[in-house]
Structure 1
Amino acid sequence: MKFRQKTKWVASAAVLALAGTMFAGCSNQTEKGAGIPSGTSPSGTNASADPYASLPKTVSISMFDRGAVSSDEGTYENNRWVKWMKEQSGIDVKIVPVPRNQAQDKLNVLIASNQAPDLIWEYDRTYIGKLITQGAIQPIDQYIEKYSTSYKKYLQEHPELKAYLTFEGKMYAVATERTLDSVANHGMWIRQDWLDKLGLKTPTTMDELIEVAKAFKDKDPDGNGKADTVPLVGSTTFDAYSAMNAAMSNQWYLENGKMKYGPTLDRFGDSMALEKLMYENGLVDKEYLTDKNFQRANQLWTTGKAGIYVASWGSGAMETHIKDMWKNVPDANPVPLEPVSTKNGKFGLYQETKPFIFVAFNKEMKNPKAAVEYLDWLVDKGWMTLVNGTEGTHYKLVNNVPQQLDSDKYKKEVSYAPEYAVLRNAKFSPADLLVKAAPDAVSQKVAALSQKGLETAMKNTFRRDIPYQPNFTELNDIQTALKPFIEDIRAKVTMQGNSYTAPWGLEEIRKEWKRLGGEKVEALAQDWYEANKASFK
């Protein structure tokens, strides 16, 4: 997890304040018809011709920079797949990368400085809502209705998506539906060979998990005679603590029919207490709070020095990590670990809602027609190649499922490309994981583990009391202000000894919530819930 120092928090607040000012300016411009060619109506039409027909077919789109493009492949902005997208779609696509771990902050700065891409996307629906209240993006109903064919058809076939894409009666984003392997998100893995060596059973409760972690720390599970093993590492440690206690920091919960914000619950205090216990007892890597890119966590896991890994359920990066582990420790036996029960119950780790990626239209976009044409091309056929590579080179079809021909070649030449496919008309069955994997023994072994990881990740339901989060200005403002405050409090509770307890931290969060107007926001959230609950399924 990442924590900002106080000075960085202040700087971030200043940037957000500037962004708010700029967004307000954008909103005022929009009311006057900003971004619409001269001589047209706000609906983008006039009596004589389509106002966008003669404009260059150029569209820019954001991209999460995960550092996955090798130097001989190029950059996120310029590589074989960007060239291919331009050629095949007929659209001059320009990629605007933003660092994955600071994506929203970076996008906020780009929007505030009027340098944001035409298409802005995120996995987080709440962020789209914030952009709406800030006046940074625009409704797209008219564009889909007038210019779309493929996506319009897709939406008609998946009407359940419309509620997620609609804010205040207008459609502000497009998205396709997640397949099961994309609904599953977070997961845990444990070294079964370490359990076996130490005569331990798979933990099923939090107390048992802590005892296993202590054994992994003290009993030399790797057998090298050194006290150099780390019980638990990963990129989603606090999220896992919070999910298992049903108190995620960005979720609303229904408590006896009342809307309550996750970080204000007693259960969130339990999560902070667990984080403190794990840290103070040396059961996690001491540097995990500052391991911003999780490089150290990945290194500890792949070099065989960590016993429990908390990150993704299986595919993609996890498969790579396990392969790398086997290169260093051929006899390692990592297996999926089911979430353990806590005093608050038993809940699954984080799972996604139905929509995959939310793609929004910048208010200052010059050619929405070209944007719709590009998205139509993606959902119609472009996504298939971006996800799988070139048929005959990177995959072959087996029972209509693309099977990798060479896992190393795919990793180097294709693995970074799927994220360009922000819309996908994909189908999936868990059995596909074995079919899709390259036929070599290692790839098949990893695919079997990945399938088991998916089954384990979906075995317990993540507690999500409402299908999607409410969206209104007061809530978005308070969430923005509260997030760095919570991170600062967590850092103090975790690292600064007995003077900063979890009950103290929870009380500080509640006081800040109240100071920022949390009671009013709770009332608004309750009104929102009462008005919308009949439509929830």
Structure 2
Amino acid sequence: MRRTAPLGLAALLALALVAGGTAACGGDSGADQDANAALQIWIRKPPGSNSEKTAKDLAAKFTTASGVPAQVTALFEDFETKLQQAAAQKDLPDIVINDTAQLGSLVKQGLVREVDRSALAGGADLSPIAWDAAKGADGKYYAAPFSVQSFALFIRKDWREKVGAGTPASWAQLDELARKFTTGDPDGNGQADTYGWVVPASTKRGYASWYATSFLWSAGGDFLTGSPGKFTPAVNTAQSVKAVDYLKAQFCTDKTVVPGAVTLETVQAHQAFESGKGGIYFTGPYNMARFDKSLGRDKYEVVALPAGPGGKASSLAEGENVYLMAGSANQDGQKRFAEFATSPEGQTLAMAGDTDGTIVRLPVNTKVQLGTVRQDTRWQTFETVFKDAGRFTPAVPDWTPFRQSAADTLNTLFANCSTDTKAALDKLAQTYTDELTKQEVKG
């Protein structure tokens, strides 16, 4: 869920790279290659974090195994902006480990190299659904899959027991629990200062639509319908309107969402949950180690999202890829790093056991058994959700403008309760039609 560079900058970068920029970065033609050249690896993790340490350990093990030097740079804030700046300066890193959602934008700008899936040692051991997240809209692969994940509900167990509620098994029970958390003083301090839902509904990086995706799908709605190359908008169907109205009601009717949610990014949303402002948070497995420390493992539980009005439960599937960046002076080293990072050894190291240093959430290598690496059985919930209900966003050339325009619309609906949902989604559908036409994938 990251914001890419403005279209003007992206277009200029693409033109510069096509006009000879990639060659100036080191060349993809095979010329000026040095199999011993050090690899510069960028990963989107906070500097100084345990996840940065894990990434550095992974790089060190790779160097020991291959003899190829590798240096890790951890960046978090404005990661994509810094990557764009590096591209403009023709000084891209050799490897980038970042979100699967960035693939379309990177391909469009010519910043990544194509990956030959059949030539990647161990590639046949990687799960097909993980490979799908490395596939471009043209059917070619532009990365090696590295990590996948799904999402689940984090619920304050102590609050739930305090208000006398059971574990929610339906959306109606979720709604009732959210109301009890908001009105029932679950923390027992005598103050009306608790809420049901923690929602990162900011427009930044498209968070509002990113959060809403699983609920939209579970309610029978969708962003697009069709198949790769032939999509039409579905964001204004009756099912989609109903799904958005369900979310909107939490803000506007039930008022069970933490105050200020329309400006919350995930960092602030994490804090709202662990500080006791809200008791239900739909988020990823990477937060378990954090909340175990800040809140206490006994204070919350991890529960799969129940089936919605659409009769099913869906969870946004995401992950991270190893991107082999254009212009590297050591293309063989890039490939060897991708092979190591996706090997059982690399995956196991990157999972980091049950610590908060994980950079692989769920392994992509089918030879790695989750239960042999992690003793925390809560991870099994996420693995089951991923296998049974996980779904990636549509395979358009660039999902970013669709996600961002949806976030802008949803944020407006959540912030301005008088806004007509159907009219707003009709307008969004027209925006989608225009974008599909622009990307030449309109059905």
TM-score (norm 2): 0.79
| Contact 1:194 1:222 survives alignment (8 Å) | yes
Residue by residue over 1:445-468, the C-alpha shift from the partner in whole angstroms, topping out at 9 and shown as x without a partner, is xx24444x3376358524x4xx77
Amino acid at match of 2:382: L
Structure 1 Cα separation of the partners of residues 220 and 81 of structure 2: 27
User: Does residue 326 of structure 1 match 2:296?
Assistant: yes
Deviation at 1:470, TM superposition (A): 3.4
Q: Could you tell me which of 223, 229, 249 is aligned with 2:194?
A: 229
SS of the aligned residue for 1:57 comes to: coil
For residues 161-195 of structure 1, give each alpha carbon's deviation from its aligned partner in whole angstroms, at most 9, with x where no partner exists.
7676555465432235x6xxx4x510002234433
Matched, 1:387 2:350: yes
Q: Which residue of 1 aligns with 2:123?
A: 155
- The 2-side partners of 1:247 and 1:239 are apart by 9
Measured after TM superposition, the shift of residue 432 of structure 1 is 3.3
Residue matched to 1:345? 311
- Number of aligned residue pairs: give it: 430
Instruction: Select the residue among 474, 481, 495 that pairs with 2:415.
Output: 495
User: Quick one: distance in 2 between partners of 1:450 and 1:188?
Assistant: 13
Q: For residues 76 and 290 of structure 1, do their structure 2 counterparts lie closer, same or farther at Cα, with a shift above 3 Å needed?
A: farther
Change (3 A) 1:166 1:510: closer
CA offset at residue 139 of structure 1?
A: 2.9
**Residue 294 of structure 1 pairs with residue 255 of structure 2:** no
Q: Which residue in the other structure is 2:207 paired with?
A: none
Tell me: CA distance 1:58–1:248, structure 2 relative to 1, closer, same or farther (3 Å). Answer: farther
Q: Which one of 372, 377, 387 corresponds to residue 335 of structure 2?
A: 372
Query: How much does 1:358 deviate?
Result: 2.7
Please tell me the root mean square deviation across aligned C-alpha atoms, in Å. 4.1
Residue 299 of structure 1 and its aligned partner are, at CA, apart by 3.0
Give the match for residue 90 of structure 1. 67
What CA distance in whole angstroms lies between the structure 2 residues aligned with 1:157 and 1:79? 24
Q: 1:396-411 counterparts in 2 under 5 A?
A: 411=356
**1:233-252: CA deviations, max 9, x gaps?**
15564234324224465xx4
**Where in structure 1 are there 5+ consecutive unaligned residues?**
5-11, 46-50, 146-150, 390-403, 438-446, 527-537
Does 1:504 find its partner at 2:423? yes
CA spacing shift, 1:91–1:110, aligned 2, 3 Å: same
When residues 162 and 274 of structure 1 are mapped into structure 2, their CA distance, relative to the original with a 3 A threshold, is: closer
Paired AA for residue 261 in structure 2: Y
1:208 aligns with 2:178: no
Distance change >3 Å, CA 199–CA 324, structure 1 → 2: same
AA aligned to 1:343 is: P
Hey, what does 2:206 align to over in structure 1? none
Does the 8 A contact of 1:319 with 1:450 survive in 2? no
Residues 234 and 381 (structure 1), Cα distance of their counterparts in 2 relative to 1, 3 Å cut = same
Q: Which of 256, 260, 275 matches 2:247?
A: 275
Q: Distance in 1 between matches of 2:150 and 2:251?
A: 24
Partner of 2:326: 363
What CA distance in whole angstroms lies between the structure 1 residues aligned with 2:188 and 2:48?
A: 34
Conserved? CA contact 1:89–1:377, under 8 Å: no
Decide whether aligned partners of structure 1 residues 110 and 243 sit closer, same or farther in structure 2, where only a CA change above 3 A counts: farther
TM-superposed deviation, 1:211: 2.2
Q: 1:16 aligns with which of 3, 7, 13?
A: 7
Q: Distance in 1 between matches of 2:179 and 2:340?
A: 53
Structure 1 distance, partners of 2:278, 2:162, is: 15
Helix, strand or coil: the match of 1:289?
helix
Distance 1:263 1:69 in 2: 38
Change (3 A) 1:201 1:213: same
Change in CA separation of 1:79 and 1:24 when aligned onto 2, cut-off 3 Å: same
1:73-118, CA deviations, whole angstroms, 9 ceiling, x for partnerless residues?
9x77996665665455422323343427x54454344323433312
Q: Which amino acid letter does the alignment assign opposite residue 287 of structure 1?
A: G
Contact 1:60 1:119 in 2 (8 A): yes
What secondary structure does 1:307 align onto?
Answer: strand
C-alpha distance in 1, partners of 2:362/2:184? 46
User: Which residue type is aligned with residue 107 of structure 1?
Assistant: L
Matched position secondary structure for 2:323: strand
Deviation at 1:218, TM superposition (A): 0.8
Whether the aligned pair in 2 keeps the contact of 1:188 and 1:339 (CA below 8 Å) is yes
Partners of 2:127 and 2:364 within 8 A in 1? no
Larger RCO: Structure 1 or Structure 2 (Cα < 8 Å, ≥ 6 residues apart)? 2
1:446-525 to structure 2, matched below 5 A, reads 447-451=376-380, 453-454=381-382, 457=385, 461-462=389-390, 464=391, 469-472=394-397, 476=398, 479-498=399-418, 500-514=419-433, 516-518=434-436, 524-525=441-442
Kindly indicate whether residue 287 of structure 2 is the aligned counterpart of residue 317 of structure 1. Answer: yes
User: Partner of 2:204 in structure 1?
Assistant: none
Partner of 2:203: none
Structure 1 residues 246 and 364: alpha-carbon distance in aligned structure 2, compared to 1, 3 A threshold: farther
Pairwise CA distance, 1:430: 5.3
Q: 1:493 to 1:28 in 2, by over 3 A?
A: same
Give secondary structure in 2 for the equivalent of 1:214: helix
- Residue 245 (str. 1) matches residue 219 (str. 2): yes
User: How far apart in 2 are the matches of 1:263 and 1:97?
Assistant: 36
Matches of 1:159 and 1:192, distance apart in 2: 34
**1:394: which partner in 2?**
none
Contact kept, 8 Å, 2:40 with 2:94, in 1: the verdict is: yes
- 1:287 deviates by 2.1
CA distance in 2, matches of 1:460, 1:374: 31
Residue in structure 2 matching 1:199, options 151, 161, 164: 164
- Provide the secondary structure at the position in 1 that maps to 2:261: coil
Q: Aligned partner of 1:284: which letter?
A: V
Letter in 2 for 1:364: G
Aligned to 1:130: 105
After superposition, the Cα gap between the structure-2 partners of 1:283 and 1:349, relative to the gap in structure 1 and judged at 3 Å, is same
